[in-house]
Chains A and B, each alone.
Chain A
């Protein structure tokens, strides 16, 4: 039976962690993720969990401590944001290539500069090649549900990859909204115990973690890691199916919102998708065939599945909430356009970079995007492919 509550995204994540009761939580605070270890410290102090809660001196160390714990066969978690995630960069790659399924909660925040504490995906997008699975939520409910599914995906024997559960900094992390929580015991049963086949301290099968890989072995290790990321696609859907059976809420690689006969569509992530959905509803009420695809799983990227959905559209706007400085579009656009490249009938596609450093995204802004798409779909020119939205002009 679900429990009706109201929580911020951060408290929802901390609650999921408490219910799972991991072996190790190594923490270092950074806005806007700080509340996650803050709530968790209270659970530790109150004796509600028996997690080894380690306060370390930096994010490089918090992830390193998690990595050590995972190598020893423990379930380890941490949380961070922005520069904290950047400071983990080196260790992210070590965790992924050592196939250690750490679960990392990220309250996504802009990167410097100018220095800024608000939301965009600069931090998580900068780590898209780290080998972490990345799952994004639109609101506190989705972030909680994603967290409940995270360990099972990451720890699956066919995957064994670390995973980021991403929420929008402040917009989700600090907004209190209604949420359906699940019963502690039901969560424990769903997530299960972590029983790795092999680990550092297993005396029957001693092994090394993180040794040097000479050229004769390095590529095999990388290909195996790439295969694990491909395997993650199947496991993500299996876990989602079991989640739906157990708790009743449905998840996939992405959410198709009113896409059935959509001529124009946005590809968008996180809380902005919720705002854009209200715009889609307005447009639909006016008879405009608009739809939306909200990316939930960015790594592994569901290219084929997304292309199949977009192939039916005339014009698509990819909404990038980070600036990759490629001079030809943001990271979500690069993935989406790449996924569609071999379609026989491709929609015309534009990229819009928006919402950087907490710049607000409104229903009216979404409407202006659909307006532009309608023009393109009506047989007009695609126009400039890569533009920015919402900034003041000089």
Chain B
């Protein structure tokens, strides 16, 4: 029934009850280290989904406040306002912005088998699977460093990472996403229009270069 209502795969979408109806929701958990931008990446994703007309949540979970310590951030993206404000334990998707975390953190803990983990890494997905503590679902990687250096001449991994998460999760339509991001960049970089094209290329190429 949910498939008919929302055109989504029920196994990867939490169904939430609102007062009189059901609505579909995607839950994403981000893993990074303090200072690496996992919180910022989750905010960028919320921005992209917001621009596409969705209801969004983006929130960090803080432990001891120190640079380099593992941190977690979360997204909920839905067609209705979600009133749940707990952390996310059974995410549809997991995004990992630092592959060295795979050794120390069970990043796939609770991740739905029908979902996917997206790891920022130059490696092939199957190479990383052995670190995922038995997770048998979809594993994706994006070489965000390479995409960023190639298009921007500098290391801004959040941009390709964002595109990879949108590509794998399908939380926003590709063309809508690229159009909204272009508008956003033109506004944000009004005084530096030369960087807009590089950022857009980052997004487009990351979309195509996600492995897995």
List A residues at the B interface (Cβ < 8 Å): 6, 117-118, 138-139, 168, 170-172, 174-178, 258, 271-272, 274-275, 277-278, 281-282, 284-285, 360-363
Contacts and interface: CB of A to CB of B under 8 A. Distances in A.
Contact of B57 (A176, A277, A278): A176
Interface in B51-103: 55-60, 62, 65, 81-87, 89
A140 to B, nearest CB: 10
Contacts, number: 69
7 smallest beta-carbon distances between A and B, as pairs: A274-B83, A281-B17, A175-B59, A271-B85, A362-B86, A176-B58, A6-B50
A170 B62 contact: yes
B83 A176 contact: no
Given A175-B57, A177-B57, A281-B18, A363 B50 contact: no
Nearest to A278: B84
Given A117-B65, A274-B84, A274-B85, A170 B17 contact: no
B56 A278 contact: no
A249 to B, nearest CB: 13
Contact of B85 (A6, A139, A258, A282): A139
A176 B74 CA distance: 10
A360 B61 CA distance: 10
Contacts of B50: 6, 178
A361 B17 CA distance: 18
A118 B81 CA distance: 24
A275 B57 contact: no
B62 to A, nearest CB: 7
23 contacts: A6-B46, A6-B50, A6-B56, A117-B65, A171-B85, A174-B60, A175-B58, A176-B56, A176-B57, A177-B57, A177-B58, A178-B50, A271-B85, A272-B85, A274-B83, A274-B85, A275-B84, A275-B85, A278-B82, A282-B17, A285-B17, A360-B86, A362-B89
Contact of B83 (A6, A171, A278, A284): A278
B180 to A, nearest CB: 13
B40 to A, nearest CB: 11
Nearest to B58: A176
A33 B60 CA distance: 15
Given A170-B60, A178-B56, 13 more contacts: A6-B47, A139-B85, A175-B85, A177-B55, A274-B83, A274-B85, A277-B83, A278-B17, A278-B82, A278-B83, A281-B18, A284-B17, A360-B86
Which secondary structure dominates where chain A touches chain B?
A: mixed
Interface in B31-50: 43, 46-47, 50
Interface of B: 16-19, 43, 46-47, 50, 55-60, 62, 65, 81-87, 89
A108 to B, nearest CB: 14
B207 to A, nearest CB: 23
Contacts of A168: 85
Nearest to B53: A4
A275 B83 contact: yes
A344 B65 CA distance: 52
A175 B81 CA distance: 13
B76 to A, nearest CB: 9
A176 B60 CA distance: 10
A363 B50 CA distance: 25
B62 A118 contact: yes
A6 B50 CA distance: 7
A259 to B, nearest CB: 13
A394 B62 CA distance: 25
Contacts of B19: 258, 281
A348 B46 CA distance: 43
Contact of B62 (A117, A285, A360, A361): A117
Contacts of B43: 176
Contacts of A274: 83-85
A256 to B, nearest CB: 13
A45 to B, nearest CB: 18
